[in-house]
Chain A
């Protein structure tokens, strides 16, 4: 198996649009946008690929912050950004298609923001 080299850089939110534009101008395609809870903050990772070269940039934001949309640069990014909003409650400014919380129908708002299993611990601990 050939292990894939993956680069990851943490950047400031203010530089996000510039960095993403740079990827676009170089011909990279957008692979993924994902959100992860990291303590009290959120890590948002943007993944790109060009000729099998896989690169990631990451911003770390407080839970109540909002971030700029990259859907003006990569049109298809709206699907990830709406998903991130609906599951984690991350506010994204300026999405080209904003579902306003209605892309994914959830029974509770932002279910991944603070996951809980109704008092249950891991099943092995029971």
Chain B
């Protein structure tokens, strides 16, 4: 047996935009064990429910993440609305779902760019982020914010999208989709990318299940978990099925995200076609008293906002279980047995959002 050494990976590393630390136990060039540690930027946002009234806490919830901020706000609002028994207007549900899918496009394109950059494919990185700009422009035009939208509130949404803008969004999707197809062709069919990703960081279906993998990390291993199938917001009104790959390697996780881009476009088209008219919010009376586990499908996987009210303006508890936290145990499994040189690509392949995890 070779001598074992422990090599630190992070918290500062070229492939990590945010800090996470891994102690890699190595035998020669092979990783035999991994010990993660987090908490470098833990903000304790959950405790702020004791200091912010429940309608205001949506701003805190949104700032949990700088990528899928809208979905955090929406999931929190859903939880409070359920506790209070509020019936949110259908149009608000559709608008929330449209913005959620644009958030998914934004997040996946951002990740694809970073992933390409991590592999040294600078040109592809710039191409992915060029497409991401289109999505951010739509978000800015419809909500006023590129990253933090602030358009969701308890009881509905703050902003409507007029019919003319919706039609323009639908028209623009055509050109956007064409550009994505060219980019997807490179991610899915380029030999150098395939040889860098295929067979690397394999997570078996059973390990994915036992370790609690969610989102593209789980679906890349053949576990068809997609919380959108529960029909929250307006997902019950559109036809789609989860994108699933079976191989469980870095390529499979990349392929899930690439194919989900087109799935999201199709969902947005259906929503624009079917969006009903009417109000976009209901008046909120009283205070939440009760508890609910509000779930949604973030770009990285299942998100849970647990809210517990005590009949006052201040919630008793907010618990945010983010997908990156639950994807850490699967990451440990993926890294066991891999080559040292593959560690950066494998870490990136779960799309780690440390900001989310360190809420």
Q: List 20 A-B contacts (CB under 8 A).
A: A1-B93, A1-B231, A1-B233, A2-B232, A3-B82, A4-B295, A32-B326, A36-B306, A36-B317, A47-B293, A52-B230, A56-B293, A74-B210, A75-B211, A76-B329, A103-B39, A106-B39, A106-B42, A111-B47, A122-B50
A 93-117 binary contact with B (CB < 8 Å = 1; else 0): 0000101001111100001100101
Name the contact of B51 in the complex, choosing from A36, A37, A117 (C-beta under 8 A): A117
Beta-carbon contacts under 8 Å, B49-102 to A: 50-53, 82, 88, 93
Q: How many residues of B contact A (CB 8 A)?
A: 46
Q: Is the CB of B40 within 8 A of A78?
A: no
Docked complex: A74-102 residues within 8 A CB-CB of B = 74-79, 83, 86, 97, 99, 102
Pair A2/B210 contact, Cβ less than 8 Å:
no
Which A residues are CB-close (under 8 A) to B295?
4, 31, 54
B116 at the interface (CB under 8 A from A): no
Return the 9 tightest CB-CB contacts between A and B, nearest first.
A76-B329, A104-B39, A2-B231, A105-B39, A76-B212, A76-B211, A34-B319, A36-B317, A115-B47
Distance (whole angstroms) from the CB of B198 to the closest CB of chain A: 25
| A83 (CB) vs chain B CBs: closest residue | B325
Q: How far is the CA of A103 from the CA of B42 in the complex (A)?
A: 11
Chain A, residue nearest B319 (CB): A34
Bitwise, B183-216 to A at CB < 8 A (1) or not (0) is 0000000000000000000000000011110000
Residues of B within 8 A of A97 (CB): 35
CB 8 Å contact bits of B291-328 with A (1 = contact, 0 = none): 01101000000101010100000101101010001101
Closest to A122 in B: B51
Give complex CA distance A6, B295 in Å: 11
Other than A76-B326, A103-B37, give 6 A-B pairs with Cβ distance below 8 A.
A4-B232, A30-B212, A31-B321, A106-B39, A112-B47, A124-B53
Q: Is A29 interfacial (CB 8 A cutoff)? A: yes
Q: How far is the CB of B24 from chain A (nearest CB, A)?
A: 15
- Specify the chain A residue showing the minimal Cβ separation from B329: A76
B280 to chain A, nearest CB (A): 14
Tell me if B229 is interfacial: C-beta within 8 Å of chain A. Answer: yes
- Given known A4-B232, A76-B326, A105-B39, contact A32–B82 (CB-CB < 8 A): no
Q: How far is the CA of A6 from the CA of B232 in the complex (A)?
A: 14
Which B residue sits closest to A117, measured CB to CB?
B51
Contact indicator B325/A36 (Cβ below 8 Å): no
Residues of B that sit less than 8 Å from A by CB: 35-40, 42, 44, 46-47, 50-53, 82, 88, 93, 209-212, 225, 229-234, 236, 292-293, 295, 302, 304, 306, 308, 314, 316-317, 319, 321, 325-326, 328-330
When the two chains form their complex, are residues A76 and B330 in contact, meaning their CB atoms are under 8 A apart?
A: yes
A123 contacts B by Cβ under 8 Å: yes
Contact of A2 among B46, B53, B230 (CB under 8 A): B230
Q: Is A64 an interface residue (CB 8 A)?
A: no
How many interface residues does A have (CB within 8 Å)? Answer: 41
- Nearest neighbor of B96 in chain A, beta-carbon distance: A1
Residues A1 and B236 in contact in the complex (CB < 8 Å), given A34-B306, A52-B230, A112-B44: yes
1/0 contact trace for A19-42 toward B, CB 8 Å? 000000000011110111100000
* Interface of A toward B, CB cutoff 8 Å: 1-4, 6, 29-32, 34-37, 45, 47, 52, 54, 56, 74-79, 83, 86, 97, 99, 102-106, 111-112, 115, 117, 120, 122-124
Contact between A37 and B42, CB atoms less than 8 A apart: no
- On whether A29 and B51 interact (CB within 8 A), knowing A4-B230, A47-B304, A106-B42, the answer reads no
- Rounded to whole angstroms, the CA-CA distance of A4 and B105 in the bound complex is 26
CB of B153 to closest CB in A, whole Å: 16
- Least Cβ–Cβ distance between A100 and chain B, in angstroms: 11
Say which residue of A2, A31, A56, A104 sits within 8 Å of B302 (CB atoms). Answer: A31
Q: Chain A residues with Cβ under 8 A from B317's Cβ?
A: 36-37
B42 adjacent to A79 (CB under 8 Å) = no
Closest to A36 in B: B317
CB <8 Å contact, B293 and A6: yes
* Residues on B with beta carbons closer than 8 Å to the beta carbon of A1: 88, 93, 231-234, 236
